[in-house]
């Protein structure tokens, strides 16, 4: 009798769209999966209008938030990555993903921490693993990740989130000192200024 009531209650919760435990990691668990044995520091970054314009230009998506939150991971004082959480709407309901960025500005890990759409549309770990090592440019771009049959909107939303996160990371990481700034171009001397 009790198990029948529980089954009915769960069916009602699922039917009404109320989130039921989905075996998804919590924020803390996702961070631990991405950065085992690391100390984690939460950072708050205010994005200027110029920052948001730069994110939009690089990612192809407007960064609407003026404030973003990152989690800097360090092992023995050395930065081993930064995780960013992105919440977005897929069809009519929200998904939140953690996107961990490695020091070389590539994706280190993607974990779904909240998913309100039907479970059939949840990207499988194997597909998310293919995002690892991808970046905004180069041979392994996020945009080149193949779609998911039957869950194209979910794949598209996750790829857009990865592009946004990588763009935000690129705009603010050097400023925060979590990655070294790109090297300055070499200065040409007067003797070599005319040479190619």
Other residues' Cβ atoms within 10 Å of the Cβ of residue 196: 3
Rounded Cα distance, 180 and 20, in Å: 42
- Answer for the pair 103, 92: CB distance below 8 angstroms, yes or no: no
- Per-position pLDDT tens, the chain of length 196: 544 543 444 444 344 343 444 589 999 999 999 999 999 999 999 999 999 998 888 888 766 788 999 999 999 999 999 999 999 988 889 999 999 999 999 999 999 999 999 888 888 888 888 889 988 877 776 666 666 665 678 888 888 899 999 999 998 887 777 765 454 555 555 554 555 4
Tokens in use for 84?
């960013």
How far is it between the farthest Cα atoms of the chain?
91
DSSP-assigned letter for residue 176 = H
pLDDT score at 43: 92
Tokens in use for 48?
């200027």
Residue 134 CA to chain centroid, in angstroms? 12
- Answer for the pair 41, 131: CB distance below 8 angstroms, yes or no: no
Other residues' Cβ atoms within 10 Å of the Cβ of residue 19: 13
Rounded Cα distance, 29 and 31, in Å: 5
């Amino acid at each position: 009798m009790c198990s029948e009531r529980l089954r009915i209650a769960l069916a009602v919760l699922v039917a009404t769209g109320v989130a039921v435990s989905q075996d998804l990691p919590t924020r803390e668990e996702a961070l631990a999966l991405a950065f085992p044995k690391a100390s984690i520091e939460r950072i708050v970054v205010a994005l200027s209008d110029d920052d948001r314009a730069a994110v939009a230009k690089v990612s192809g998506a407007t960064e609407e938030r003026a404030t973003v939150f990152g989690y800097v991971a360090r092992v023995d004082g050395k930065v081993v990555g930064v995780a960013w959480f992105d919440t977005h709407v897929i069809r009519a309901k929200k998904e939140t993903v953690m996107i961990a960025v490695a020091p070389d500005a590539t994706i280190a890990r993607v974990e779904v921490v909240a998913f309100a759409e039907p479970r059939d549309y949840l990207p499988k770990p194997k597909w998310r693993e293919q995002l690892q090592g991808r970046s905004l440019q180069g041979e392994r771009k996020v945009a080149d990740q193949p779609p998911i049959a039957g869950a194209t909107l979910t794949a598209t939303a996750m790829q857009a989130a990865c592009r946004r996160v990588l763009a935000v990371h690129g705009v603010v990481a050097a400023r925060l000192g979590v990655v070294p700034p790109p090297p300055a171009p070499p200065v040409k001397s007067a003797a070599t200024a005319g040479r190619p």
